[in-house]
Structure 1
Amino acid sequence: MELWVEGLADVEYGVRTVEAIRPQLPEWCGRGHGSLTFRLTQVLSGHGCFGQYLRRIGREETASCHGCGDEEDTAQHTLEVCCAWTEERRTLVATIGEDLSLPGVIRAMLGSERSWDAVASFCEEVISQKEAQERERENDRLAPPLRRRRGGRRRRQFAAALPPTNM
């Protein structure tokens, strides 16, 4: 465990996540509750429907937030300040407390199963809505080409396997 903690001291990628988990790595690895979900991992890593990430991978022209118009939509912005998620955040804060910094959220998650579940629930609710909004933007025929849904091989195979629709 000590070697792992030392090895994570100089990471090049995932710094935000590593800095939040590294001080609590033994507790993280030895916890008796909670499992990582796809959407929880997106919030922890910052890789998901966040303007900053989508711009970095070439899917958005800017990093701005579609929910509130802020200049930079990040996982932390979504978790802590975006007004589009006020109700979901209120429920989260009622369970884990006011500290929504990533290290604070990790501490809360490790502190109790109830807190872990509250964070996971917030992530599921918010990210699923952000994904649905992202799909709408992708399907907009007037969207710039970089925004449109791509028709890759797996997507075509999936579409071909769907039952025909009766219109």
Structure 2
Amino acid sequence: MLDHLILRNETPADIQAIGEVTEAAFATLKSENITEHFIVETLRAAGALAVSLVAELDGRLIGHIAFSPVVLSDGTPGWYGLGPVSVLPEFQRQGVGQALIREGLARLRGLHARGCCLVGHPEYYPKFGFVNVPGLGHEGVPPEVFFALSFDGHYPQGTAVFHPAFAAQGHPPDSAV
């Protein structure tokens, strides 16, 4: 299947499908408050999507990944947050998410980013080189689910603050969606 997978930058024509993929990907979670599709919309509306890639298979959008700048309390510049990453349920566990993550990280390196961090599953993200960093975290998040990947060998210390879009509970105010 991955032989025919196309990874590319999102285009305006993809926006509705990205929302649908993101909503479907997270609908399987046992949570009543799924906001990931609002997060992506709000990041886009704020111009904060540093990298936004889609996975396309036979003309159908089946996955999406977003990267946005983070602020580190120690002042280290050039760090980004990964998330959300979304794959339609029927295509999950087939390597689509891995392909999006690897390509997204490569694109961040191409932007001369210094590193990437995320909140995620402890058994999934270490395969990409992400580690728990003592002294680096995100407020209110257990250390075992906060991960960082340095591209230059330097790990900042302190607190990572993701874009305010990660608090989005609905469509951004100026959204036409």
Question: Which TM-score applies when normalising by structure 2?
Answer: 0.25
Decide which structure has the larger Cα Rg and report it: 1
* Higher relative contact order (Cα pairs below 8 Å, separated by 6+ residues): 2
Q: TM-score, normalised by structure 1?
A: 0.26
Structure with greater helix share of residues: 1
